[in-house]
Structure 1
């Protein structure tokens, strides 16, 4: 009986550990995607700022 209880708790520990690893993997993927999106948006913003400077230079008030 004690052996069965021990195996039960070991299986629960293994299950919890595997779920925790999956959560960290998903979190890492989300961070990478977010960082990529932020980089793309930053590049677009810099491009737009450059175009605004050109337009202001060509069409002064």
Structure 2
């Protein structure tokens, strides 16, 4: 394997790892955002006296 081919494979591996890290960071951020929106919606329903049946 030549230097260029090894460099290309290394770069591809690093980009894949970086992509995985970005996804791992994005998921908790999205979950926090969704949890905050859900909490706001539940508080609004509670304030309006319309809580769902449990």
Q: TM-score range by the shorter chain?
A: 0.7 to 0.9
CA RMSD, aligned part only? Answer: 1.1
Unaligned runs of 5+ in 1: 1-8
**Among 14, 17, 20, the residue aligned to 1:22:** 14
Greater share of residues in helix: 1
What stretches of structure 1 move > 6 A for 4+ residues in a row?
A: none
TM-score normalised per structure 1:
0.72
Higher RCO (Cα < 8 Å, 6 or more apart): 2
Unaligned runs of 5+ in 2: 50-54
Paired positions, count: 49
TM-score normalised per structure 2:
0.80
